[in-house]
A and B are shown apart, each in its own frame.
Chain A
Amino acid sequence: MRIYANILTATAALLLSIGASASGTAPNGGMPGHAATASADGGTDERDGMATSYGILPADTLVEMGSISVTAIKQGLSLRREAVSASVIGSREINLYGIRSAKEAAALSPNLFMPDYGSRMTSSIYVRGIGTRIEQPVVGMNVDNVPVADKNMYDLDMPDIERIEFLRGAQSTLYGRNAMGGVINIYTTSPLSFQGVKLKADYGSRNSYRIGASVYDRFSDRLGVSLSTEVSHCDGYFRNMYDGQLCDRENSASARFKLQYRHGALSIDNTVAASALSQGGYPYAYAGSADGGEEGENGGTEGVICYNDESSYRRAGISEGLSIRYSAGTVNVSGITSYQYLDDEMVLDQDFLPESYFTLRQARRQHDLTQEIVVSSDGSGKYGWMCGAFGFFKHQRTHAPVNFKRQGIEELILDNINKIFDGEYRWGDIDGNGGGEFTLGSDFLVRNYGWAVYHQSTLRLGRWRMALGLRLDGESARLSYRSLVSTAYTAFPSSGTPVTVPLEIDDTGTYRESYLEFLPKFSVSMDFGRNNENMLYLSAAKGYKAGGFNTQMFSEILQRRLQYEMGLATDIDRVKEVIEYKPEKSWTFEAGVHFSTIDTRLRVDASLFHIECFDQQLTVFPEGKTTGRMMTNAGRTRSSGAEVSATYMPHRNVALSVSYGHTDARFRRYVSGDRDFRGKHIPYAPSNTMSARISYTLPLSAAALERIVFSAGCDGAGRIYWDEENSVSQPFYALANASLRFEHKKWSVDLWMKNITGTKYGIFYFESMGNRFMQTGRGRSFGIRLALNI
C-alpha cells in the first residue's frame, strides 16, 4: 500500500507542476485536423470537433451538447467531476477501434476484465478482483439509462454506440443490486444530434463480417427517430476435431428503434430493441487429467477440442425502455420504465469429451419489469440532493434436463454401485432396454421482486464537496422446482434372481428467501489547481450482490437422490442449503485524483482502493465426478490495488493513452472441506490489466481523402489464477493491435489487425470429472471496415 501511496503522491506532484506551467489552449480548439470540418454538416464531425484528442472525448460530451442528447440521470455533468474512478470511451475511440459492445471496450478500463468465454451466455465481468461467471453479476449495466435486467444480455453487440462509461467501485447506493463492482453505462447515438444514414460493413478473418445500416431523422426541433440494424457472422476460430467443424461459429442480428422528444422542460426517450443470436459450442480443449490419470483414458487429447455431442447457444431478446424527464425549475423528475424479454437455449456436451457421458439443455424464458423514479435538484446551489425509488419483477421459466448417456451411466453410476454391491447392476430392464441413456429432468420457476428507496445529498463548500448516500434495498426470491426421473436398473445378485427396479422420482418444492440491505456511501473531494477538473477525493461505499438459488445444483441433488433410491445413504435432505447462496456484501474504500492540465492535453486519473468482501460468492466445480458448477459463499476476501489512466497529446496530431490496474485479491477466510484457501489469490480475476494506445493523424488536403490515422496499441492481463489452490495460472500476456484509417467526412476505411504477434494465451480453465480443460484466446486476425455517412 505504501508503494501505491508514493506513486500517487509523485504523480500528483508531477501533474500539479505540469498544470502550473501549461499554456492556455481552449479545450475545444485542440482537435487535430477536425477543426476545419467542425461546422460542415453538424453531424458526427461536429461532435468530434469538440474532442480534444482522437482517443478521448471530454467527459459527458453528450451532456454538454445540451438537452438534445441522452442525459445521464444519476451522476453529475462530468464523471471527472465526481468522486468516482471511471473510464469514458467516446465515439471517436468507438469508431476507431470498431467497438460494438462493452466487452470490446473493457480493455481500455483498468482493473476491468470481460473475457470471452466462448459463449455470450456467460458474460463474466471481473472488477478489482471480484466477479462471477454464473448467477448474479458484480456490475450493473444500463443502456440509454435503462437497466439491463439479465446478465445473459450483457454481451450484446449494439450498432451505433456513442459512448461507454465504466464506473469502478461500489455503485450500489444509486444503482442497487449487483452494482457491487461498478456500473457500465452505454449510450447510443441520438437522432436529435445526428441526422442522416450510416452504412457500415466489416469483413475479417474467419469469414467474419458485419453489415449495419442506421437511419436518423429529425421531424422537427422536438422529435427525432432512428432505426439501426445490424447482422453479423463469423465462421469460428476453433475446430472441434471430433467432426472437423468449427465449433464457435456465430450469427447475430439486431435492431434498435429510438424515439426522442423534447419540448421545453419535458424530455421523452423511448427505445425498442430486438436481437437474435445463434452460436456454436464452447471451444474447450482437453488439458490433461486432474487426478493423475493417464492422458487419453477419457478419450481426450491434450490441446485438442474434441467432443461428440451438440453444443450451441441461441438467444432472442426484446427490450422496451421509456425514459421521461421533466425539469421543473430547480427540480428534475425522471421516470424510467422497462420491459425485457429473454428467450435463450443452451445445449451442451457437458463432459467436453468424445465419449458420451452427459449433455445438458437449458431453455429459459424470462420477463423483467423495472420501474424507477428519480427526483433531484438541479445542482445549482451549494446543496444538491437526489431521491429515488426502484422496483423490479422477474419471472423466469427454465427447463434444464441433464441427459445421462451410456458412458456416464457406466462410469459415474454403475462403476460405483458395482464396487459396493455383490453381483452386477445394469441400467435398463433385464433385456437392457432403456439402458443407453436416461434424463434427469428439472423445471424451475423463478419469481423475484425487489424494491429500493435511496437518497443522496451533496454539499459544496468552496473547494470542498461532500456527498452522502443511503439506500434501502429489499428483495424476495422464490424458486419452484420439479425434478423428474423415470428410468430403471436391473440387479443381478450373485445369488437370487435378477430383479428390475423402477426408479421413479417426481419431486416438487418451493423455496423462498428475502433479503434486506442498507447501502450507504460517503465521499469527500477537494478541487485544486486552476483547472475545474482537478480534484482529490476519498470515498467509502457499501456494495451488495443479490443472493438466490443455484438451479444448476439440482442435477447434483438428483444424482444423490438416485443413489439414495439405489440403497446408498446419501444426503438428500437440506436441499435448500445446497442450492441457496447468500448475498455478498462489500465495503470499498478509495482515494483518487482527477487531473488535467489547463489545455487538457494531459489528463490523469488514478486511485487506490481497498475492498473487504463478506460472504463472497465463488463459482467452483464440485468435488468428484459431478456435473455443472456450484456457488459457495467463500467467507471473507479482501482486494487492494491501484489503477491509473492517462491521456496525453504532445502534438495536435498525436494522441497517447495508457491505463494500468493492479489488484491483489485474496481469500481471508475460505475453508472447503479439509482445504483452507486462506491467503490464496481469488481465481479468474487478473492481477494486472494494462492498455496502451497511440495514434498519429496525417492530415491531407485532398478533397477525396482528408486524413490518414495510424493507431497501435497493446492490451494485456494477468496473472490469472484458475483455481482456489493457485496451482494453475495464466501468466501476464499482451496482445498487440493496430489499424490504418483512411478518412473523409463522409466515409472511412479501416484496415485493422488484432493480436498481431499471434500471442497464445489461456482465457479460461476449469476442471470437471477429473479432467482439465482450457480455452485459448483467439489468434491473429485482420480485416477491413467501411463506414459511409449519407
Chain B
Amino acid sequence: MKTLRKTAIIALVILSCTACFKNTGSSISWTAEFTGTITSVNAQTSDRYEESKIKSVIDMDDATASILDFTLNDFKLSLPMNTIKSMTMPNLRFSVTDGTEEGIPVGSWKISVSELTPLINDVQDETYKVRNLNGIISDYYIRFTFELETSGQKYNVTYSVTQSWNKNIVGDFTTSDAEGNSIYVDEAVKSTVYLGDVLEKSFDLKISGVQFVQNMPLMNIDLPGIPFTSDASDSEPLSGTWTILPCTIVPTIGGVAYEQYTMTNFQGTIDENDFEFSFNIQYDGQTYTVTYSNENY
C-alpha cells in the first residue's frame, strides 16, 4: 500500500540539493538560495508588515563545521522603511537532529542565538542588533524568528520559506441511511488533499466526480479548511498521524458555498497509509452518514 505523505513531498532543496555542494579541495562548501516571506511586527506600534518573494541565502564554507551564514536580501520591515540591500547573520552554529553522513549534517538543523550584530551590506553595523534568533532548517521548510532593533525601533521578525503539498488519493465513498444501512457506494473516487503551507494545520480536500446517492449528478466538491492535529515533529510536519478535529464543513461546488449541504460531525484520521473520514449530511429531509476509506487501493 502506497504511503500517503512521504512519497509526495519535494524536499526543500536542503540536503538533497547535491548541486549546492562544492568541493574546494580542503573542504566542502554548501550554498543555497531560497525565496520566502518576511513578516514584521513593530513592537511599539504593533504595525504589521508582510512581504513575499524575499530572497535569502544560506552559506556554509565548511559543511562539516555546523556553522552557517544566513543572509536576507532586499527587504524592509515596514512600509516607510528604506530597503535593506542585504543583512547577514554570520557564523550561526546549528545543531543537527539526525547526525551526519560523511561529516555532512543531515536531517533538520536548529539554530538558537541570543544576540548578534549583523553585517549590513557586508559591513558590520553596530546600529543593528539581532536578539533571540531561533531558526529551523528542515527538508520541508525554513523558519527564522528574531528581534531586530535599529534606529530606536524594535521589530519581531519572522522569515519563512514553506511550500504547499498535495497528494492524490483514490477511495470509496459509502452512504448509509439513519439506520446504518448502506444505500450507495461510489467506488474509486479520485480526490486531492492539499496543504497550502506545510506548517498549516488545516487542509483542503478536492473531490473529483462523486455521487453520494444514485440520482445525484457527478460533481466536483471542494471541502476547504479541514482542521487537524498532528503528532509530527516541527521539523517533519508531514509525518506522524493526523487527527481530523470534529468540525462542520460547508462544501463548495463551482466556487459556491452550499450551506444546505453542510457536512456535520466531520472527523477522521490520516497516517502514512490510511485515509479515513466520515460526515453527516442532510438531503431531501433525510440524514445520511458518508464514510470514506482508501483501504481498497
Contact = CB atoms under 8 A, between A and B. Distances in A.
Contact of B257 (A499, A566, A568): A499
Interface stretch (B113-121, B138-146, B213-221): B213-221
A330 B258 CA distance: 84
Given A501-B255, A569-B210, A495 B260 contact: yes
Given A420-B217, A568-B220, A569-B220, A496 B258 contact: yes
Q: Is the interface of B mostly helix, strand, loop or mixed?
A: strand
Contacts of B260: 422, 493-496
B222 to A, nearest CB: 9
A569 B259 contact: no
A714 interface: no
Interface residues of B, number: 16
Nearest to A494: B260
Nearest to B209: A569
Nearest to B221: A567
A663 to B, nearest CB: 44
A464 interface: no
22 contacts: A420-B219, A421-B253, A421-B254, A421-B258, A422-B260, A493-B257, A493-B258, A494-B260, A495-B259, A496-B259, A496-B260, A499-B256, A501-B254, A501-B255, A565-B254, A565-B255, A567-B253, A568-B218, A568-B254, A569-B218, A569-B219, A569-B220
Given A421-B253, A493-B257, 19 more contacts: A420-B219, A421-B258, A422-B260, A493-B258, A493-B259, A494-B260, A499-B255, A565-B254, A567-B219, A567-B220, A567-B253, A567-B254, A568-B218, A568-B219, A569-B208, A569-B209, A569-B210, A569-B217, A569-B218
Nearest to B218: A569
A564 interface: yes
A416 to B, nearest CB: 9
Interface string B242-271: 000000000001111111100000000000
A565 B217 CA distance: 15
B256 A567 contact: yes
B259 A564 contact: no
A277 interface: no
B210 A501 contact: no
Nearest to B254: A567
A566 B256 CA distance: 9
Interface string A493-506: 11110010110000
Interface in A417-434: 420-422
Contacts of B210: 569
Nearest to A422: B260
Contacts of A569: 208-210, 217-220
Nearest to B216: A420
A569 B255 CA distance: 14
B203 to A, nearest CB: 20
Interface in A659-707: none
A491 interface: yes
Nearest to B251: A567
What class of interface size applies to chain A in its complex with B?
Answer: 10 to 19
A566 B254 contact: yes
Interface string A211-226: 0000000000000000
Nearest to A490: B256
Q: Which 6 A-B pairs have the closest CB atoms?
A: A567-B254, A569-B209, A501-B255, A567-B253, A569-B218, A566-B254
Nearest to B261: A422
Contacts of B220: 564, 567-569
Contacts of A564: 220
A567 B256 CA distance: 9
A568 B256 contact: no
B230 to A, nearest CB: 30
A568 B255 CA distance: 12
Nearest to A421: B253
A29 B95 CA distance: 111
Contacts of A493: 256-260
A491 B208 contact: no
Contact of A496 (B208, B218, B257): B257
Residue of A499, A564, A566, A567 with most chain B CB atoms under a 10 A cut-off? A567
A532 to B, nearest CB: 71
A54 B131 CA distance: 108
A589 B292 CA distance: 61
A493 B259 CA distance: 8
Nearest to B222: A567
Interface in B168-225: 208-210, 217-221
B84 to A, nearest CB: 37
A493 B258 CA distance: 7
Contacts of A420: 217, 219
B261 to A, nearest CB: 8
A491 B210 CA distance: 21
Contacts of B258: 421-422, 493, 496
Residue of A491, A493, A569 with most chain B CB atoms under a 10 A cut-off? A569
B69 to A, nearest CB: 41
Contacts of A422: 258, 260
Contacts of A567: 219-221, 253-256
Given A569-B208, A569-B218, A491 B256 contact: yes
